[in-house]
Structure 1
């Protein structure tokens, strides 16, 4: 697909052509198999912790959206995958330098040509977004979508960093929980239930 075809498909919400740019989900599952994964959220509280070394020691480090990293001590330095649901500038992409970008948002019009044609690009299916939205009763965050995806893989361990379900707000903005369209109580319950049922999933600092 060329850039014009991409722009037409994105504007007219033609999912099938956009899907041709994505690697199969099986590629992600194969890469995750047997790995110790660190999923790094953007809670402000993480900046007050010293989890950077543990994050960088994981087999695979996944960050979210604009992935702020105020210090190596708190956040580490590596990014293998970037789970994205917002527009992002080239400066931020250069800083984060992910080996793979996953577009998790159902809002396809925010997807850029440079992201969609990046190596290993993955487009999260609309059906999976809708299924998790129905379970949550609200649009899921990028973090919740990633946790759901990762938990369905054959990874060895999933360690969550920087997830406090908006108790300390986000490093990437100043909005409160009641100013965003997510249900953080439902997401917290979802994660707590998952951790109780799946010993591979743990939360740093818990």
Structure 2
């Protein structure tokens, strides 16, 4: 698909054409069978920890949006997958250098041609976004969507780092919880419920600063 075809499909909200560029969800999830996964959130408090080596020891390391890595000591160095819902420049993408990009946002108008035609590109179905939105009674964060997606696979372990549900705000910006359209209390309660029902999920909670 050339750029003109892609941007025409994006403008016309032609979901089928855009989705044709994506690996299937079944193949994506199958690639995680038996693997340990580190999902790295962007809580500021993570920078005060020494979890970097544990993050890098996972079979698959997944980071979110701008994927800040202020120090290898706290954040590790690898980025195998990038779960994305924001626009990133070519410079930022080159710096993060993920092996695979997952477009999680329902806002397809933000999706760039470079991302959609990259190796291993995955487009998250709108139906799954809407289902989680209904469950939380608020738009889900990229992190919540990833937890929901990853636990559909046969991975062996999913460990969350840098998830304090905005208690220490985000390394990616200066907005407060009141300035973003998510319900972090609902997400925290949902994650606790998921932990009780799925022993593969663990949360390494950084102390709030």
Give the C-alpha shift of residue 76 in structure 1. Answer: 0.1
Show the counterpart of 2:195: 195
- Cα distance in structure 2, aligned partners of 1:117 and 1:101: 10
Q: After TM superposition, what 4+ stretches of structure 1 lie above 4 angstroms from structure 2?
A: none
Show the counterpart of 2:147: 147
1:83-139 alpha-carbon deviations (Å, 9 max, x no partner): 000000111111111000000000000000000001000000000000000001010
- Match of 2:31, SS state, is helix
- Cα distance in structure 1, aligned partners of 2:89 and 2:101: 14
Show the counterpart of 1:177: 177
The total of aligned residue pairs comes to 206
Show the counterpart of 2:160: 160
Show the counterpart of 2:14: 14
Give the C-alpha shift of residue 205 in structure 1. Answer: 3.5
Show the counterpart of 1:186: 186
1:138-192 alpha-carbon deviations (Å, 9 max, x no partner): 1000000000001111000000000000000000100000100000011001111
- Cα distance in structure 1, aligned partners of 2:152 and 2:61: 17
The correspondence of residues 73-88 of structure 1 with structure 2, limited to 5 A, is: 73-88=73-88
Show the counterpart of 1:117: 117
- Cα distance in structure 1, aligned partners of 2:12 and 2:137: 27
1:43-65 alpha-carbon deviations (Å, 9 max, x no partner): 00000111000000000000000
Consecutive unaligned residues of structure 1, counting only runs of 5 or more, are none
Task: Give yes or no for contact 2:79–2:98 (8 Å, CA) kept in 1.
Answer: yes
TM-score by length of 1: 0.98
The correspondence of residues 29-44 of structure 1 with structure 2, limited to 5 A, is: 29-44=29-44
- Match of 1:92, SS state, is helix
Show the counterpart of 1:129: 129
- Cα distance in structure 1, aligned partners of 2:99 and 2:40: 16
Consecutive unaligned residues of structure 2, counting only runs of 5 or more, are none
CA RMSD, aligned part only? 0.8
Task: Give yes or no for contact 2:164–2:205 (8 Å, CA) kept in 1.
Answer: no
Show the counterpart of 1:100: 100
Task: Give yes or no for contact 2:163–2:205 (8 Å, CA) kept in 1.
Answer: no
